[in-house]
Chains A and B, each alone.
Chain A
Amino acid sequence: DADVTQTPRNRITKTGKRIMLECSQTKGHDRMYWYRQDPGLGLRLIYYSFDVKDINKGEISDGYSVSRQAQAKFSLSLESAIPNQTALYFCATSDPTGGESYEQYFGPGTRLTVT
C-alpha cells in the first residue's frame, strides 16, 4: 500500500462549489504539506503543518483552507472554487526527527478541474 494517499484522484467541479481534497499517510511523519502545480509555474506551497496544532500559510493560501484532523490526515478545502484553481494538487510529508529532515515524500496527486 502507498505511504501517502490522496482522494479523490480526479475531480471535476463547477465554479462556486466547495470541495475538499484529502490526504492520509502511514509514514508516521509529523509534517505535512499541500502544493499545487501548474504548467510553467512549478510546485507552489499552499499550506503546511508541523503537527496537529501547528498550521501555516504557504505562498498561495488565498482561496484555500486546511484541516489537520490527526497526525496522519491533512485536508485541503477550496471554499468557493474558481477556474484558475484548476491544477494538479499534491500532498507531501516529511520527518523532522530523521537526519534528513527536509526530505519530502509526495502522494500521487489530485487532478482538479473547475469549470
Chain B
Amino acid sequence: QKEVEQNSGPLSVPEGAIASLNCTYSDRVSQSFFWYRQYSGKSPELIMSIYSNGDKEDGRFTAQLNKASQYVSLLIRDSQPSDSATYLCAVPPTGNTGKLIFGQGTTLQVKP
C-alpha cells in the first residue's frame, strides 16, 4: 500500500458544483495533513493545512480529517473553472523528519 493515495482522476464537475477530493494515508500516527494546488507546469501551492479531526474551512475550501479512518478530504464549494488544477495531498512520515510524502494528485476539471 502506498503511503499516501489519491485517485488520479480526472474529476470533472460543472461550474458552481461541489468538488470532493479524497486522500488516504497509511501511517496511523500522522498528525499533520496538507493540500497543495498545482496548475499545469507550475509549482505546488499550499492551500490548506489540517491537524485535528473534523472540518477546517477557508473561504470556498473545506478540509475534512478523519484519523480513525485515515483519510483526509478537500471540498471546494461553488467550483470555478479557475479551480481546474491538480490537487496534491501531503503527509509527514513517521518521526519528526521534516519531510512530506506526497500523493500523486487528483486532477480536477471544472467545466463552464
Contact = CB atoms under 8 A, between A and B. Distances in A.
Q: Are A and B part of the same complex? A: yes
Interface of A: 31, 33, 40-43, 45, 48, 50, 58, 88, 90, 94, 96, 100-109, 111
A40 B6 CA distance: 12
Contacts of B34: 102-104
Contacts of A90: 43-44
A105 B44 CA distance: 8
B63 interface: no
B99 A101 contact: no
Contact of B100 (A104, A108, A109): A104
Q: Is chain B's interface secondary structure helix, strand, loop, or mixed overall?
A: loop
Given A31-B98, A109-B43, A40 B104 contact: yes
Interface centre among A31, A42, A100, A101, by most chain B C-beta atoms within 10 angstroms, is A42
Given A100-B49, A103-B34, A109 B99 contact: no
A42 B32 contact: no
Interface string B10-46: 0000000000000000000000101000000111111
Nearest 8 CB-CB pairings of A with B: A42-B104, A106-B43, A43-B102, A102-B92, A102-B32, A109-B43, A106-B44, A108-B43
Interface string B37-79: 0000111111001010000000000000000000000000000
A88 B90 CA distance: 18
Contacts of B88: 42-43
Interface of B: 32, 34, 41-46, 49, 51, 88, 90, 92, 98-100, 102-105
Nearest to A4: B43
A52 to B, nearest CB: 15
Nearest to B103: A42
Given A31-B98, A48-B98, A94-B98, A104 B46 contact: yes
Nearest to B4: A42
10 contacts: A33-B99, A43-B88, A88-B41, A94-B98, A96-B98, A100-B32, A103-B49, A104-B34, A104-B90, A105-B46
